[in-house]
Amino acid sequence: MANDHLTFDVHKGEIFGFLGANGAGKTTAIRILCGLSSPTSGDVNVAGFDIYRETEKIKKNIGYMSQKFSLYEDLTVSENIQLYAGIYGISAKKRKEKEAELLKKLGMGEARGKLIAGLPLGWKQKLAFSVAIFHDPKIVFLDEPTGGVDPVTRRKFWDLIYEAANNGITVFVTTHYMDEAEYCDRVSIMDAGKIEALDTPAKLKEKYQASNMDEVFLQIAR
């Protein structure tokens, strides 16, 4: 069983870290929350909507960035933005404004007409995140968004996450990096399909008498 009686609440505008070893059930949980998989039992509410009956309403209000890289490699930066903006029904005028603003912020103005396939991984990930929140969702789910990138790029990526949280978007993020866990408002640690711990990083460190999240994690997931 990948997920066994998970119970948790995430508050609006919070950065919620979802930790666990490989195969602990993080991805399964996130897929259920995004409506990609169906749960066998239990009550799930996302952005105030019931996951069984209001799946499509949930989908209007969430963003998702998966482990696998999810922009179209054979489309340009601008075409990818156009595609997702179109799906969420954002008007062409509004899209152009936001697109210009976004590319300026990311410093990718020149890459507008370039194919995704030719961009560095760090750029792709920042762009994928920005596309995932392009339609101003209530919650964004990030499934190991920073896998395989250097610490500097990761730090910049987290700046984007903070910015999104400040704008009132709830961030639900899974990660393997314990330094990233420290950036979260609250974290939950999963092991074998169950949530073993759920609190702020500071309180978890206190409870497990650890100096950093790495030690907390090792004690739980050992």
The interface mask with other proteins, positions 125-164, x = CB under 8 A, is ----------------x-----------------------
Q: Which one of the spans 16-24, 60-68, 105-113, 185-193 is the region binding other proteins (CB under 8 A)?
A: 60-68
Judged by CB under 8 A, does residue 184 bind other proteins? no
Residue from 55, 76, 82, 153 touching other proteins (CB under 8 A): that is: 55
- Burial 205-214, CB ≥16 within 10 A → b, else e: beeeeeeebe
User: Can you list the pairs that 95-104 forms with residues at least 24 positions away whose Cβ atoms lie under 8 Å?
Assistant: 98/134, 102/130, 102/134, 103/77
Judged by CB under 8 A, does residue 70 bind other proteins? yes
Closer by beta carbon to other proteins, 34 or else 181? 34
**Other Cβ atoms within 10 Å of 190 Cβ, number:** 25
Residue from 6, 10, 15, 71 touching other proteins (CB under 8 A): that is: 71
Judged by CB under 8 A, does residue 88 bind other proteins? yes
Residue from 6, 15, 20, 59 touching other proteins (CB under 8 A): that is: 59
Closer by beta carbon to other proteins, 36 or else 221? 36
Closer by beta carbon to other proteins, 64 or else 158? 64
